[in-house]
Amino acid sequence: MSKQLGNMEGVCVNCGAAGNESGASFCQVCGSRLGSNLLLPPPPPNLCDQGRMIGNRYRVDSLLWTAPTYNAYSASATDTQGRTHTVIEQYLMNDDPLAEISPVGASGQGPRIGSAKVSGSLEDAGAAFERFGIFRPIEHAIESDTRYIVFEHIQGQAFGHLDQADEKEARALGVQLCTLAEQFHRHGWVYNGFEPYGIVLDVEGRVRLIGFDRARQVGTRVDDAPIYPSRGFSAPELFEKGAIFDYQMDVYSIGALLQFLLTGESLGPGEGLNLYPVATVTPDFERLLSRALSEDPADRFRSVVELRESLMALNLPTVLQSGHCTDVGLVRELNEDSVLALNLTQYYESVQTQIGLYIVSDGMGGEAAGEVASRVTVRAVAELVTEKLISASLKSTREEKIAAPTQTGGLRLAIADGNEMGTSELLKMAVMHANQEVLAYARANPEERGLGATVTVAMIVGDVLTIAHVGDSRCYLLSGERLTQLTEDHSLVQRMINTGNLSRAEARIHPYRNVIYRSIGADENIEIDIIRRKLTSGDVIMSCSDGLNSMIGDDQIRDILMVNPDPNAAAKELVVAANAAGGEDNSSVIVVRIT
């Protein structure tokens, strides 16, 4: 089979086109350089019929996917109670020095075919590669000119089947790819196999590699250990006469794979970076990819470590999309809730920091007193926070940023007096200020004695969420499909839940469900809960007054947030759902999506 697959006169190893003129330097179809010692990529074998036996041990159940050079099947092992495996089927290339090397790890466990051994072989490094993301074959089977590689059942998708990624997703995957390549390089190998059908994203979001038939020891001449290229993903210098396998070839391949993830398209010879208008990325990301994909290796990143560090250093700004809705409900005559949603963006030497301030307050006190208490609370919190932040932003200099991380994972903020303050400290100060403002109003208006308010303040700076909380308004986090209540109600029924005397279902209908023991305006000395979380792209924050969560349960809240990617639509539907369930109280919602 290898003679048929080997490079032949006038045949392009990049696109397979035949008929190029004798002596031509470049393919007339794709423009690739001709005359290299690279091999023509093997086509995938004819598909196996369902029920076919492989190696007398595995029965083919179904086709999982096809790739340019192999087929992937789901197969059942006949000697392990039908346990499902994934089998890769491809033509055996006898010119491949690793054709009969099975990467089963240094322990030698598992069957191997043949006795081929090379210094510093991938087989010896197999255990290390497995830890960093290579699927560990459990068996090889060779039948005639076809090789079958058996794995535990692979759960995930080949990169070739993934949807188009945004730049944050592409960056995260690129960092993982660089980490994998680094493991090969540490053992003296160039992978050469970073292409859409050689890599799988598993169900846990980890990048995994399938095999390494194109891996070669660094410094080896391509003439001495030829490989087949992957169109659009193999470094252009591989096609040169006298080429030597070098680490920077993997830098190019990872750059080409990032381009594919962003656009769904592979590069043609000499095309260079080509993203817009199919994909729009930040200029820094575009410059990074352009460097990784340089035709001249001298202009590329010197190593995958340097590429990974550059990917991690990219400032891909967190974008906050917010929506809100508030309604009086079906029973009350007055809406005593107050809400505020505020976004502030600062650019410092082209580095963007986005800050969101989101406040929900539920007033109490009867007549107009509750509405006044919530309004005073929201105004007081917003006044203090915005005075500190906006003044700092306007006065910031070349030497200072508005926000910077602390050693504990929080954030410190540049504030108007030239000092720094942690986000937790700032929000605590703001809520204490609101408490004093409500108390002052009550003293000035003794006829409205007993007024008060809850408050839940959610502040997002970059990808860090800080919450200050008093009362029974709530803040939730939806991450993936999991909804988590971040705050704990300062209510009588919550205490009963905590002591095991009441279930959550019972609490929703308990006659004392509206009795709270901590509120703004109740006491000079107020205890404030502070919660902090690290956010990731796709997370959703939802703050609400108790008029919402007393009417609809967490499962319904989660479902509405999941089916409404637009925060405004989600907020509106949540309030509508609360009214549909009875609307016994005012309902207020703020929804924030992090992208």
pTM for this entry: 0.69
279 in helix, strand or coil?
A: coil
Distance CA 427, CA 411 (A): 12
340 in helix, strand or coil?
A: strand
Query: Half-sphere exposure of 381 toward its Cβ, with a 13 Å CA cutoff?
Result: 32
Peptide bond into 196 cis (omega under 30): no
Per-residue pLDDT tens listing for the chain (595 residues): 443 444 456 678 877 777 777 767 777 677 777 767 788 888 899 999 999 998 888 899 999 999 998 999 999 988 767 789 999 998 876 544 444 444 433 333 333 333 333 334 445 555 555 666 778 778 878 888 888 888 888 889 999 999 999 998 999 999 999 999 998 898 888 999 899 999 999 988 899 988 777 888 899 998 888 888 888 899 999 988 889 999 999 999 999 999 999 999 888 766 778 888 888 888 899 999 999 999 999 999 999 999 999 999 887 777 899 999 999 999 999 999 999 999 888 776 666 778 899 999 999 876 668 899 999 999 999 999 988 777 655 555 545 566 666 655 556 676 655 566 788 999 999 999 999 999 999 999 888 878 999 999 999 987 889 999 999 999 999 999 999 999 999 988 888 877 877 777 777 777 767 789 999 999 999 999 999 998 988 999 999 999 999 999 999 999 999 999 999 999 999 999 999 999 999 999 999 999 8
328 in helix, strand or coil?
A: coil
Distance CA 79, CA 139 (A): 14
- Provide the residue type at 127 as one letter: A
User: Minimal CA–CA distance to 103: which of 86, 118, 89?
Assistant: 118
The residue ranges of DSSP E strands in 121-185, in sequence order, are 139-143, 146-152, 156-158
List, in order, residues 6 or more apart from 149 with CB less than 8 Å away.
Answer: 87, 88, 90, 137, 139, 140, 211
Q: What is the pLDDT of residue 13?
A: 81
Cβ contact 25:35 at 8 Å: yes
List, in order, residues 6 or more apart from 431 with CB less than 8 Å away.
Answer: 381, 455, 457, 468, 470, 520, 526, 528
Distance CA 559, CA 556 (A): 5
Q: What is the pLDDT of residue 98?
A: 46
**Domain segments of the chain: what residues?**
159-313, 320-594
CATH of 159-313 given 1.10.510.10, 2.40.30.40, 1.10.3720.10, 3.30.420.130: 1.10.510.10
User: Minimal CA–CA distance to 578: which of 331, 373, 358?
Assistant: 331
> What would be the CATH architecture of the domain defined by 320-594?
4-Layer Sandwich (3.60)
Q: What is the pLDDT of residue 368?
A: 63
Query: Half-sphere exposure of 504 toward its Cβ, with a 13 Å CA cutoff?
Result: 10
Residue 35 backbone class (left: φ over 0; alpha: ψ -120 to 50; beta: rest): left
Cβ contact 27:120 at 8 Å: no
Q: What are the tokens at 188?
A: 């003296």
Cβ contact 526:520 at 8 Å: yes
Count CB-CB contacts under 10 A for residue 91: 20
For the CA atoms of 480, 486, 491, 497, what is the dihedral angle to 10 degrees? Answer: 60
Cβ contact 250:304 at 8 Å: yes
Q: What are the tokens at 423?
A: 């986000």
Distance CA 135, CA 210 (A): 6
User: Minimal CA–CA distance to 388: which of 422, 438, 439?
Assistant: 422
Cβ contact 540:591 at 8 Å: yes
Per-residue H/E/C for 422-471:
EHHHHHHHHHHHHHHHHHHHHHHCHHHCCCEECEEEEEEECCEEEEEEEC
Q: Give the pairing of strands 420-422 and 411-414.
A: antiparallel
Element at 323 (helix H, strand E): strand 320-327
